[in-house]
Amino acid sequence: MKLHNQALKYLSVSIFIIVSIWAAIFYINLMDEIHDSIDDSLERDKAVILKKLQEDPDFEQTLRAGIQAAFTESNFLIREISGESARAARDLYTDTVMYLLGEDDGEPFRMLTTAFTRGGKFYQLKVISSTVEEDDLIEDLFWAVFWLYIVLLISVAVINNFILKKLWKPFYSLLQQLKNFRIDRNDPLPDIQTNTREFLELKAASDALISHTLDVFSSQKQFTENAAHELQTPLAVMTGKLELTLERGKLDETDAETISQTLQMVNRLSKLNKALLLLSKIENRQFTDDQPIDLNALVKQTAADLEEFSSFKQVEVSVEDIASVGIKMDHTLAHMLVSNLLKNAIIHNVPGGSVRVILEEQLLTVRNTAAGDALPADQIFKRFYKDAPSAQSTGLGLSIVQAICKRYGFIVRYAFEKKEHHFSVRFN
């Protein structure tokens, strides 16, 4: 989820909660204020009515009329009550609903109930005043709050978008540069224009990390080269001297045999050394000359190069190109990948067997008739794996295949079907 959307998510939830709480408090306060002011006016009404009643010369008449006209013609009601209830009575404000003439549904009213005495008799007085309809108020308030929320959300989204674009610009610029940064390309360190402390710190941290990685990379690269030099030169001396000794002649068969065996061991040693160096070079990404490769052409060329060898092993090699596969990688590595797979398929085969290379959409499959059973899929790509102890095999061929695939994010798989080994490489 993008930063913008994340921020929006949290803000929308928070604003929702804040606005809801605010609406509830506002509503309670509003109702309180309304009741207060109605109660005050009821109080005034009461005083006016009582004054009028006390001064009324024709109280009995008024009283009767008041009882008859209760709430219809005037806003009050009077009735006689006993002395105990009058003494217990206090001013009481209540909400009530009344059905008035000409109205279908009940109207909410605020009612003040009080008591007074006149001429030794006790009376109860009820004064009413029309009040707000709470349902309508809640509904109005809800819609007001709802639209406020929507407007807030839209403003936040717009402002947020603007702020993110403006404030986070250095961040996105740095991110883009880091994405494109390649350690093996001697790229300059990423550069951003900003005064924001956090971004400056981020840049400092990424600079430190990159510099450290560059140091490690170059020292590893140097080690690779130094190791090559230190090991290859003695190996070159041994090879040269042994070959010269053999060439000089004057050796009896046993000595010649011994020297030739030693020479073979030296050769094996140099092969191993070269293969290990190659592996570390691939893993250190020292092959960087990526270029478009026509895999179909490369496979056919490799198959042609191995033609004499496959006919010697009595293995039929066929190439089926269902789709043309174009990939982008280092040419040396592409050649190594294809020839390792093909040569393996020819070697680990049976006389009269076959190798089928199938090129499909972004997929290379090499199938060959098997001499034995299925190979352990989790073992074969490990370094120094050999299916049979062979003095000539380094056991690094498939490790190199895997290292190359890993380097480019290709997926290499092994399967065994119908007495055939299947090696497939999927290019993404």
Partner 1 sequence: MKILVIEDEPELREAIEISLKRENYRVETASDLESALIKIGSYRYDCILLDIMLPGGSGLKILDELKAQEIPGNVIIISAKDSLDDKIRGLELGADDYLAKPFHISELSARLKAVLRRKLSGGKTNLEAGNLCLDPANRTLQVAGRDVTLNRKEFDVLHYLILNQDRLVTRTALAEHVWGDHIDQADNFDFIYYQIKNLRRKLTDSGARVELQAVYGVGYKLTAT
Q: How many CB atoms lie within 10 A of CB 107?
A: 14
CA atoms within 13 A on the CB side of 1: 7
Q: What is the full DSSP assignment across 65-96? A: HHHHTTTTTSSEEEEEE-HHHHHH---EEEEE
Smallest distance from partner 1 to CB 207, Å: 26
**Amino acid identity, position 217:** F
135 binds partner 1 (CB under 8 A): no
Toward partner 1, which CB reaches closer, 10 or 312?
312
214 binds partner 1 (CB under 8 A): no
Toward partner 1, which CB reaches closer, 157 or 277?
277
6 binds partner 1 (CB under 8 A): no
Give residue for tokens 């030169």: 233
- Judged by CB under 8 A, the stretch of 170-178, 188-196, 233-241, 367-375 that binds partner 1 is 233-241
183 binds partner 1 (CB under 8 A): no
Smallest distance from partner 1 to CB 317, Å: 15
Smallest distance from partner 1 to CB 304, Å: 9
In whole angstroms, how far apart are CA 208 and each of 186, 202, 218?
Answer: 16, 10, 15
Site for partner 1 in 362-401 (CB under 8 A): 390, 392-394, 396-397, 400
425 binds partner 1 (CB under 8 A): no
From candidates 105, 247, 373, 378, binder to partner 1 by CB under 8 A: 247
- Judged by CB under 8 A, the stretch of 67-75, 150-158, 309-317, 417-425 that binds partner 1 is 309-317
Residues present in the chain in total: 428
Smallest distance from partner 1 to CB 232, Å: 4
Site for partner 1 in 318-347 (CB under 8 A): 339-340, 343-344, 347
263 binds partner 1 (CB under 8 A): yes
Adjacency order of strands within the sheet including 107-118 = 76-81, 121-130, 107-118, 92-98
Structure tokens at 266: 């030296």
For the chain, the 3-state helix, strand and coil shares in percent, each to the nearest 5, are: 60, 20, 25
Q: What is the full DSSP assignment across 279-344? A: HHHHHTT----EEEEEHHHHHHHHHHHTHHHHHHTT-EEEEEESS--EEEEEHHHHHHHHHHHHHH
Q: 174 CB contacts (<8 Å, ≥6 apart)?
A: 190, 192, 199, 202, 203, 206
From candidates 244, 378, 389, 428, binder to partner 1 by CB under 8 A: 244
From candidates 19, 70, 148, 235, binder to partner 1 by CB under 8 A: 235
- Judged by CB under 8 A, the stretch of 49-57, 198-206, 209-217, 304-312 that binds partner 1 is 304-312
What is the C-alpha to C-alpha distance for residues 162 and 156, in angstroms, rounded to an integer?
10
Binding residues vs partner 1 (CB under 8 A):
225, 228-230, 232-233, 235-241, 243-244, 246-247, 251, 253, 256-257, 259-260, 263-264, 267, 270-271, 274-275, 277-278, 286-287, 289, 307-309, 312-313, 339-340, 343-344, 347, 390, 392-394, 396-397, 400
